[in-house]
Chain A
Amino acid sequence: MASSTGRTLSEAASKELLGRFGVPFLPERVVATPDEAAAAAEELGLPVVVKLGGDAIAHKTERGLVRLGLEDAAAVARAAGELLAAARPDDGAVHLLVAPMVKGNRELIAGLATDPQFGRTVMLGVGGVLAEAVADVSIRLVPIERVDAEDMLDDLATQALLGAFRGEPPVDREAVVAVLLGLSAAAESTPELRSADLNPLIVVDGRPVAVDALVEVAS
């Protein structure tokens, strides 16, 4: 989502930036060819997700540039080839991202944004396909303290989603607090950072894991 005065970083660069502040991402590999993608998948453990990445690629899902649940090396190589073929000239330099496929019944979203009056903000919300309609979010101004992050969790209306759920343990609140504090710290130490989206933040065995990241910086 590049605006007139900002530019987006690639998914890999976005993750690298936020990962330095403790935002939990999956181990993943950035590779160039279908063969390398297949090798990376076997090394990470199947099934995997393969995505096409690049500085100019922001809306991967809408463009069909995410392939989920690839079960074997041949499927990974085939998907990688198709993704590379789908790249357009205006995408610029592209690469392949290979990541383990994780499953969780619950999704959160978290991020940073810039408000015209209050400056940069941290957000936590309930994610998933109905996230926009549900609109269960809590926002604070950067910087936040631990107690603010704890309040944000308490603010969510859908508290039932944070407890034990469909055989999964309760959401690890400390781990969510760490994500929010990490986002706040990233904003504080990166003045040009304008927005960040962790969507989704999948809850895997109670712990939040970001499987996508999109950072926008002032240009």
Chain B
Amino acid sequence: MAPTTQHYRALFEPAGVIVAGASTHPGKFGFVALHNILSCGYAGRVFATNRDGGEILGVETLTGLEEVPDGAADLVFVCTPASTNAALLREAAAKGVQAAFIASAGYGEAGEDGRRAQDDLVALAEELDLLVVGPNGQGVVSTPASLCAQIVAPYPPRGRIGIVSQSGNFVSSFQNYARQSGVGVSRAVSAGNAAQVGVADFLEFYAEDPETDVALAYVEGVSDGRRFFERLRAVSERIPVVLVKGGATAGGARAAASHTGSLATDDRVFDGMCAQAGVVRAATIEEAFEAAASFATQPLPPGPNVAVVSTAGGWGVVTADAIARTDLQLLALPEDLRDELDGLLPPRWSRNNPVDLAGGETKDTIPAVLATVARHPSVDAVVLLGMGIQGNVAAMERDGGFYPGHGLERIVGFHERQEQRYTAAAAELSAELGKPILTATELAVTAPDNAAVQGVRATGRYPYPSSNRAVTALEHLWRYARHRQRRS
């Protein structure tokens, strides 16, 4: 019988967790898993087993599962050798455990004997009515439960992105980006060898999961392509799925075959399959995270027409170039909008899209122009450029040796408040109007403490590190929206 939502709840929101094979050695997985569970705020009961007993990280370990009270734990995190796991899982199931994450290696990746052990593991899972994740996986994270059951770092901030990966290290990569950007994660799981359940199973759970708004997946290969397609298509009707595939080129495919044993397919077929299913396919890990962060924090654009609002010329020009290379449209500025902006800006403004303020702003110009542009019915999305200039000046003045004094406190404070005001206005307008507004500045990576970058973060949104990356993310939003529109 296939695992049910109840099994996935046991995995992601367990009332108690058992770490089987907890180790006293801080370099071992069995130590790290226990450490991470204890140090990220998990509120349920934590049990640990160790062959020799004794205390680890303040937890009095058990020599076996018989001492675990019935029903006290839903999840067992398994770090014990593969050969001992069958007996362990039987005992765990008898104690009411419904989900097991198997970090142990020595299964399908380890030759003929390992493959047999993996087949036995799946049969046992069915027999015991257990959800078995892995084996050979790095762990599971669930921020609503403050659960960090993984043998690696990091633990991400809470958010709306559900992650699943055929490669555990990309779970870490995505979570690293989540920490850096502040756009958080709901659940994350490394599928390992995906013996019983794989990427599609977790995507189906995320589609049902009230904590998750967008799924983010790394895939190297699939065993039943046709069924994978049908399942992806059904999930995409519920939530956006952002997918990055390893092995898209001939060289990458050879590497994938040795990594996960996956069969290669013509990449153009995979690409078409994604388009047909409504799956958002990203070319890189970074692009995938940014697309997912955009789905998690921005509304879908109602159409392809983009307005670029910039405080200075060059940024707008390269952004117009970037838009021209996509399915997005650089909106030809409607007459009435131009007239309205004429009333807000000095005569030297660009009078076209990109809307270039040409440095002609008073303290209220940027929010006023942004609101006027965003509210126009022809505008479907806005890319906002030039945020952070004032914050950058403020940072230099704060650190320049004359601060405080010389009137610097007042002006530094003003600049920083203005940045917060602009970025807050962008998020509020976007939410009110149901149109994406993406703020892009390289300061997101070069000076993450910048007041504008912090301002974007404070709204829960993603500070795009360049306008071309913002445009790429926006194109993903639009392509998904268009797919849904054409099929509704």
A residues near B (Cβ < 8 Å) are 115-119, 121, 137-141, 144, 147-148, 150-152, 154-155
> Is the Cβ of A115 less than 8 Å from the Cβ of B265?
yes
Contact pattern, B 264-282, Cβ under 8 Å of A = 1, otherwise 0: 0110111111011000000
Name 18 extra pairs, CB < 8 A, besides A140-B276, A141-B269, A151-B275: A116-B263, A116-B265, A117-B222, A117-B269, A118-B269, A119-B226, A121-B269, A121-B272, A137-B268, A138-B272, A139-B272, A140-B272, A140-B273, A140-B275, A141-B226, A147-B486, A147-B487, A150-B486
Q: Cα distance A118–B229 when bound, in Å?
A: 8
Assess whether A118 is in contact with B273, with CB atoms less than 8 Å apart.
yes
A141, B268: Cα distance in complex, Å: 11
Q: Is the CB of A119 within 8 A of B272?
A: no
Does B81 reach chain A (CB closer than 8 Å)? no
Is B487 a contact of A141 with CB atoms below 8 Å? no
Assess whether A144 is in contact with B225, with CB atoms less than 8 Å apart: no
Q: Kindly list chain B residues whose C-beta atoms are within 8 Å of the C-beta of A155.
A: 275
Residues of B within 8 A of A147 (CB): 486-487
How far is it, in angstroms, between the C-alpha of A189 and the C-alpha of B269 when the chains are bound?
21
Contact-size category for B: 20 to 34
Q: How far is the CB of A109 from chain B (nearest CB, A)?
A: 13
A118-B225, A118-B226, A119-B226 as given contacts; A141 in contact with B276, CB under 8 Å: yes
Which residue on chain A has the smallest CB distance to residue B230? A141
Question: Chain A nearest CB: distance from B345 CB in Å?
Answer: 35
Name the prevailing secondary structure of the A interface residues: mixed
A137 and chain B: residue at smallest CB distance? B268
In the complex formed, the residue of A with least CB distance to B224 is A117
CB distance from A49 to the nearest CB of B (A): 31
What's the Cα separation between A87 and B265 when bound, in Å?
Answer: 38
Contacts of B486 in A (CB 8 A): 147, 150-151
Give the distance in Å from the alpha carbon of A107 to the alpha carbon of B121 in the complex: 55
Binary A-proximity of B217-258 (CB < 8 A = 1, otherwise 0): 000001111100100000000000000000000000000000
Q: How far is the CB of B236 from chain A (nearest CB, A)?
A: 14
Interface string of B317-342 (1 = CB under 8 A from A): 00000000001000000000000000
| Given contacts A115-B269, A139-B269, A148 and B276 within 8 Å (CB-CB) | yes
Residue pairs across A and B with CB atoms within 8 Å: the count is 55
Which chain B residues border A137 with CB–CB below 8 Å? 268
Report yes or no: B275 in contact with A118, Cβ–Cβ below 8 A.
no
A147–B277 Cα distance when bound, in Å, is 12
Contact of B263 among A117, A139, A140 (CB under 8 A): A117
Tell me, in angstroms, the Cα distance from A219 to B224 when the chains sit together.
24
- 28 A-B pairs (CB sep. < 8 Å): A115-B225, A115-B266, A115-B269, A116-B263, A116-B265, A117-B222, A117-B223, A117-B225, A117-B265, A118-B225, A118-B226, A118-B269, A119-B225, A138-B272, A138-B275, A139-B271, A139-B272, A141-B226, A141-B269, A141-B272, A141-B273, A141-B276, A144-B276, A147-B486, A147-B487, A151-B275, A151-B486, A154-B327
- Minimal beta-carbon separation of A135 from chain B (angstroms): 8
Q: B265, B327, B487: which contacts A118 (Cβ < 8 A)? A: B265
In the complex, A118→B272 CA distance in Å?
Answer: 11
A150 to B275, CA, bound (A): 12
A171–B126 CA distance with the chains assembled, in angstroms? 56
Closest to B270 in A: A118
For residue A117, which residues in chain B have a CB less than 8 angstroms away from its CB?
222-226, 263, 265, 269
A139–B226 contact, CB under 8 A? Answer: no
- In the complex formed, the residue of B with least CB distance to A122 is B272
Most A C-beta atoms less than 10 A away, residue of B225, B226, B268, B276:
B276
- The smallest beta-carbon distance between A181 and chain B, in angstroms, is 14
Residues of chain B within 8 A (CB-CB) of A148 are 276
A155 and chain B: residue at smallest CB distance: B275
Chain B proximity of A158: nearest CB distance (Å): 15
Smallest distance from the beta carbon of B198 to chain A beta carbons, Å? 14
Rounded to whole Å, the gap between the CB of B281 and the closest CB of chain A is 12
Chain A nearest CB: distance from B227 CB in Å?
10
Q: Which of B270, B275, B487 has the most CB of A within 10 A?
A: B275
User: In the assembled complex, which residues on chain A have CB atoms less than 8 Å from the CB atom of B224?
Assistant: 117
Top 8 closest A-B pairs, CB basis? A117-B225, A139-B272, A118-B225, A117-B265, A140-B272, A115-B269, A140-B276, A147-B486
Q: Give the complex CA separation of A144 and B268 in angstroms.
A: 16
Chain A residues with CB under 8 Å of B272's CB are: 121, 138-141, 152
Chain A residues within an 8 Å CB radius of B229: 118, 141
Query: What distance in Å separates the Cβ of B245 from its nearest Cβ neighbour in chain A?
Result: 12
Cβ contacts under 8 Å, B269 to chain A: 115, 117-118, 121, 139, 141
Interface residues of B in 255-313 (CB under 8 A from A): 263, 265-266, 268-273, 275-276
Bound-state CA distance A151–B275 (Å) is 8
Contact for B268 among A139, A150, A151, CB less than 8 A: A139
Which residues of B are found within 8 Å of A152, using beta-carbon distances?
272
Chain B residues near A154 (CB, 8 Å)?
327
Chain A residues contacting B487 (CB-CB under 8 Å) are 147
User: Distance in Å from the Cβ of B460 to the closest Cβ of chain A?
Assistant: 33
A159–B413 Cα distance when bound, in Å, is 52
Residues of B near A115 (CB, < 8 A) are: 225, 265-266, 269
CA distance A139 to B265 in the complex (A): 13
Chain B residue, CB-CB nearest to A139: B272
Q: What is the CA–CA distance of A139 and B275 in the complex, to the nearest angstrom?
A: 9
Once the chains are docked, how many angstroms separate the CA of A150 from the CA of B483?
A: 11
Residues of B within 8 A of A119 (CB): 225-226
Q: How far is the CA of A116 from the CA of B275 in the complex (A)?
A: 19
Q: Measured between alpha carbons, how far is A37 from B266 in the docked complex, in Å? A: 42
Q: Within the assembled complex, what's the spacing in Å between the Cα atoms of A150 and B263?
A: 30
| Chain B minimum-CB-distance residue to A125 | B268
Across the two chains, which residue of chain B brings its CB closest to A147?
B486
Minimal Cβ-Cβ distance residue in A for B266:
A115
Of all chain A residues, which has the CB nearest B269? A115
Taking CB as reference atom, which chain A residue is nearest B327? Answer: A154
Report the Cα distance A116→B222, complex, angstroms. 11
Chain A residues with Cβ below 8 Å from B327 are 154
A144 to B269, CA, bound (A): 13
A115: nearest residue on chain B (CB-CB)? Answer: B269
CB-CB < 8 A to B276: which residues of A? 140-141, 144, 148, 151
For B262, give the chain A residue with the smallest CB separation: A117
Nearest-CB distance from B334 to chain A (Å)? 25
Cα–Cα, bound, A131→B275 (Å): 22
Q: Residue of A at shortest CB range from B222?
A: A117
